[in-house]
Structure 1
């Protein structure tokens, strides 16, 4: 993501980006308030995943969050996790990893072959694995009545999820970069485009995440 590249992103993307970014922040605050008032998801780790979901789903995360709370509170309903519950941990890890990793790489000035895109993809991937590992351990312990899941199993689930997720997210970043559609990270359009990339990551990562959940190797949100 060479910051010296020509920015060919259409001007109309900027106002849309800022509107959605504001809605995303407001949605994250709404979910945080809901959690503080008792609309919980079974563990602190799961609560944080839902707050992070608002960073890329915006108001849709609020709707899904409240539906999930209502469904889990009704013991007569099907307890099988929905597609959203399966994919949200990976999406949340990616969203937070972007917020931390992008400024870190820019500040470091590190590049590979003169391009910081590759460093960003690596750093974001490593951070996402670490965040998912923490989630799997904390959420797994909550779901397992206090028994912490094996570290190797949690680490394997985190790595597989991030690799599958990066097919969409990393691929999107590469497409933007080589088509000169990657604006500087100081612009709202950059973060909006990263949010779209996270949605693509949810699509490519879903089969792996679903497979892990069905075999009891991962914990849904």
Structure 2
């Protein structure tokens, strides 16, 4: 039953991503990096990502002129989506690296996943943030954009990984006698859930960063 549910969940997520990609090709975002962010969110948020994209993402398409009537909650949601997409990409890249190398830390692959995926998520998260900041502040230079990206994304990224890693620990130590492996569909369903929980733990951090003026509401 779990395998069937996993296939359904992954298929819905990938279909949601595909629908967003098709629409973005027709209506590209004003901020280029969001052309990548929205489809990634579709993978783990599924139909909810579709709803948020067409409700809030489309407002920022280059060839669609609509009044931006999003409230603060929606803008923080988009900022969190941006952060979460970078984390998700880093985590997704890290999984096969650990799997193919057989890397372990303290005798377990879980800690190897934690380490590898945190590093990659941080790199991709900063890159995503850089490409959101730099186009708006080119006169201040790339160095300024990198520093601002680190300042804006570090807390939200750590908050995301707390939610994600917490769920991974539950999967590894509690839910399964033998944890699923990356070559099993169940593993990626568990990762979908991990990304959703990471998003939820990252949202308050993004709210705080926006409130303090450290991060711009997107």
TM range (shorter): 0.7 to 0.9
Which stretch shows the higher mean deviation, 145-154 or 173-182? 145-154
1:214 positional shift: 3.2
Unpaired runs of 5+ in structure 2?
Answer: none
Could you say which residue in structure 2 is the equivalent of 1:155? 150
Separation of aligned partners in 2, 1:164 and 1:179 = 22
Structure showing greater relative contact order (alpha-carbon pairs closer than 8 Å, 6 or more residues apart):
1
Give the 3 Å change call, closer, same or farther, for CA 159–76 of structure 1 in structure 2: closer
Q: How does 1:110-149 map to 2 (within 5 A)?
A: 110-144=103-137, 149=144
Task: Name the structure 1 match of 2:96.
Answer: 103
The farther-off stretch of 208-217 and 116-125 is: 208-217
Q: Does the CA-based 8 Å contact 1:136-1:218 persist in structure 2?
A: no
Q: 3-state DSSP class of the match of 2:17? A: helix
Query: Is the counterpart of residue 175 in structure 1 residue 170 in structure 2?
Result: yes
Partner Cα separation in structure 1 for residue 139 and residue 12 of structure 2: 36
TM-superposed deviation, 1:59: 2.1
Partner of 1:74: 66
TM-score, normalised to structure 2, is 0.86
Contact 1:140 1:219 in 2 (8 A): no
CA RMSD of aligned residues (A): 2.1
Deviations 1:183-211 (A, max 9, x none): 11111111011110111111111111122
CA contact (8 A) 2:133 2:145 kept: no
Counting helix residues as a fraction of each chain, which structure ranks higher? 2
Q: Distance in 1 between matches of 2:136 and 2:70?
A: 17
**Residue equivalent to 1:16:** 5
Residue segments in structure 1 that go unaligned for 5+ positions in a row: 1-11
Q: Against the structure 1 CA distance between its residues 199 and 170, is the aligned structure 2 distance closer, same or farther, given a 3 Å change threshold?
A: same
Q: Is 1:201–2:198 an aligned residue pair?
A: yes
Worse overlay, 79-88 or 12-21:
79-88
Residues 117-136 of structure 1 deviation map (CA, whole Å, 9 limit, x = unaligned): 11111111111111111111
Aligned in 2, Cα 1:69/1:96: closer, same or farther, shift over 3 Å?
Answer: closer
Task: Kindly tell me the number of residue pairs found equivalent between the two proteins.
Answer: 209
Q: How far apart are the structure 1 equivalents of 2:164 and 2:120?
A: 14
1:219–1:27 CA distance, 2 compared to 1 (3 A): farther
Partner of 2:214: 217
Alpha-carbon offset, residue 95 of structure 1 = 2.1
Q: Deviations over 1:72-115 (max 9, x none)?
A: 54226246461431321232123212321000011111111210
- What's the TM-score, normalizing by structure 1? 0.85
Aligned to 1:44, the other structure's residue is in SS state coil
